[in-house]
Structure 1
Amino acid sequence: MIKCTNCIGDRLFNSKNSKYCYDATNLEDCCYITNSDFIKDSYDVNFFIKSERCYEGLSLPNSYNTFFSIVCWDNRDVYYSDHCFDSSNLFGCIGMRKSSYCVLNKQYKPEEYNQLLEKIIGHMKSTGEWGEFFPVKLSPFGYNESTAPDYFPLTKEEAVKGGFRWAGRTSGLFGKETITWDRIPQQIDKVDDSIVKEILICEKCKKNFRILLQELNFYRKIRIPLPRHCPDCRHGERLAKRNPRKLWPRKCQCAGEKSENSVYQNTAKHSHGNNSCTNEFETSYSPDRKEIVYCESCYNSEIV
């Protein structure tokens, strides 16, 4: 975290008073935010920019007071809607643009809309539906077809138990390769342009994939061999190098003059002197990792 005050999470920048947020910048008074920028007073949202007072949503840029919605841009006072743009005062709408005071895509007068909205919310509260995002049973995709396993991996049994669908076979082409790896040179300068016409096979998941000409030229430029894994597997390998979106309670490993495992020798005096630091905190570095983890105070004493 860089330039953050009173924040908990990982890869946060220029934020304050935000808890359990990841890969985000310029947050203020937020919780459970990911992949977002310039967000205020929002909770449990993903892929947002310049939005305020939003709750449980996905891709709601430039929105205000928008709840339980998906891909709704430049809106305000929108509930349970999908792919609506430049609109306000919508409930349960899909594909609306520059519209106001609509329920299930039907236009109402403002006073009629407000009365109907109050009635609908009252009914949803009585059934326990109000306040929750769309149920997972409405998703047309299997859990293993989405990006969810990138951050929250589940087995088929765990996903099905949680109410998610599970695709028997994820999308992609299999068994249609036109060339085997033993016929492809390992040196990139020996690979000719005809490779872009071939269908390759991933050595990891066996899915077929192809090489684009622009991609081939890039590999030639930086002089690296062709990838033997498909784009999906390469994406997973890159994600595996990042810390997970999970926090563990840890105790500072500073033991006074050195780290607890004696691997690192401190270069400066710390506030706790020669005694072990007693600070506890949450971190995305799990206890079974080899890195030495210091609290913020001890870390700053070493680098500032």
Structure 2
Amino acid sequence: MFENDDEPNCRRDRSGGSLRPDCRHCFGLCCVALSFAASADFAIEKKSGKPCPNLQTDFRCSIHKDLRHKGFKGCTAFDCFGAGQQVSQITFKGIDWHDNQKTAGRMFDVFPVMLQLHEMLRYLTEALALKTSLPLHGELRLALDETQQLAQLNPDSLLKLDVPAHRSKINTLLLETSERVWAKSCRQLKNKRINRRGADLIGAQLRGADLKGADLRGACLIAADLRGADLRAADFIGADLRDADLSGADLSGSIFLTQAQINSAEGDVHTELPHRLARPQHWSVLGK
């Protein structure tokens, strides 16, 4: 669970809506609507619809400043892309689930749908900011506007959405964007693009690897050793970077990499990040 004050450079979509979590205007939806299993990321098991025991009546986390040490590092890596405040303040017009139990179930069901829509908005906004995607800007703007309109629907309409179909359409545009970024950044390379899409790279030894422009979509990089790796212009949509070591790695110019992914990884002062992302406080201040 994020606190808005800890999130610099709040992004907004073209309609003015925030794509960063603002917990001050959310009803703790990520701490109630979602489930999690006891693991290295969560100290306890929690079912969807059940409030986390650390959630206070004012919807703030009682251990927010000590989440990682209390066994809840998964919370520090979660990002709702602004879906929480959208559902709380717009979809349900500021009526929280404490005050109206009849809306609670519907609110908890709507949140995962909104989460997916806002995730798509986040990627589309980034794609539009890339000069290399200029030929696609018309289609990207239309897709962003359509997705924003869907996010404004009422609860019943949101629950009827065919989200996978819409995501598929958006994904086609994002793939084209990714290919254009690779073509421009790696055009001097004679070899083909490195394709590790969906690859099982758990614990992989990739120290110093040349992965410039690599397609790492959906790759499982849990605990992978990526120290000193060249990851410039790599596509990270859906990649799992939990406990991956990015110390000294160069991720500058990488695309579709989120703050949540970075927060779930390890790194140091020598890790090069895209300008839009912040260096996590838990990262080592010393090089490895």
The TM-score bracket by the shorter chain reads under 0.3
- The TM-score with structure 1 as length reference comes to 0.24
More strand by share: 1
The structure number with the bigger radius of gyration is 1
More helix by share: 2
- The TM-score with structure 2 as length reference comes to 0.25
Q: Which has the higher contact order (CA 8 A, sep 6+)?
A: 2
